């Protein structure tokens, strides 16, 4: 998953001599970036049922298998929602004279994939609920914290306005889906998500 994630906002570096022709730094092709996100949504962020063989887990793990799998998924999510990665997408889009995979597209694609149950009015399983809460925490981090080890001043870049837009889009989708999903755990989850999202958008209230 780390190798696939590297394509998103990724840059090829070509070592050239002084007289060599061509660019040294070239962004990963737009279509490869989009396909990489599709791959992560399908394989990193779906419930990893193929790894949860009860016949094996019941012999080696008492009660931590779900948490361990959730930790792996959250690590992959935080890797994608890295401030420097988003900043590179903004940078290359501003510099490109051709079509590029934009930060808006990446964030839209990720939100749509992580919250597909809202569109389909389906119950949300435990792995996805955990991942969705982690998504909110990561957006909170991007909205409110100083971002270390980046060359970007978050307060003066497009990152925070983009994150705020994603939160507003998510809130609208949650509120539309709530009356149409009756499963109890999902309802409790969406109530918590709605409250958390509103708090992030309007912390003073």
Lowest mean pLDDT among 47-51, 105-109, 112-116, 184-188: 47-51
Q: Could you state, in order of their start, the residue ranges of all structural domains in the chain? A: 2-201
Lowest mean pLDDT among 8-17, 40-49, 76-85, 112-121: 8-17
Region 37-56 average pLDDT: 84
Lowest mean pLDDT among 11-25, 120-134, 188-202: 11-25
Region 179-183 average pLDDT: 94
61 confidence band (pLDDT: 50, 70, 90): low
pLDDT attached to residue 150:
57
pLDDT attached to residue 76:
94
Question: Is residue 183 predicted with pLDDT exceeding 80?
Answer: yes
Q: What pTM value is reported for the model?
A: 0.86
152 confidence band (pLDDT: 50, 70, 90): low
**DSSP per residue, the chain:** -HHHHTTTT-EEE----TT--S-SEEEPPHHHHHHHHHHIIIIISS--GGG--HHHHHHH-SS-HHHHHHHHHHHHHHHHT-HHHHHHHHHHHHH-SS----HHHHHHHHHHHHTHHHHHT----HHHHHHHHHHHHHHHHHHHS--TT-S--GGGSSHHHHHHHHHHHHHHHHHHHGGG---HHHHHHHHHHHHHHHHHH-TT-
């Amino acid at each position: 998953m780390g190798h696939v994630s590297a394509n998103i906002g990724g840059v090829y570096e070509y070592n050239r001599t002084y007289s060599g022709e061509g660019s040294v730094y070239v962004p990963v092709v737009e279509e490869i970036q989009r396909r990489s996100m599709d791959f992560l949504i399908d394989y990193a962020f779906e419930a990893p049922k193929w790894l949860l063989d009860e016949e094996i887990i019941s012999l080696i793990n008492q009660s931590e298998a779900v948490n361990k799998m959730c930790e792996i998924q959250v690590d992959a999510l935080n890797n994608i929602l890295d401030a420097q990665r988003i900043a590179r997408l903004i940078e290359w889009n501003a510099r490109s004279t051709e079509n590029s995979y934009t930060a808006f597209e990446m964030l839209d694609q990720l939100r749509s994939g992580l919250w597909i149950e809202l569109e389909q009015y389906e119950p949300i399983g435990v792995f996805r609920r955990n991942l969705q809460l982690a998504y909110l925490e990561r957006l909170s981090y991007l909205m409110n914290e100083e971002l270390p080890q980046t060359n970007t001043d978050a307060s003066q870049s497009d990152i925070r306005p983009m994150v705020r837009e994603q939160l507003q889009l998510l809130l609208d989708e949650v509120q539309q889906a709530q009356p149409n999903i009756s499963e109890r755990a999902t309802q409790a989850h969406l109530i918590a998500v709605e409250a958390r999202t509103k708090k992030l958008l309007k912390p003073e209230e």
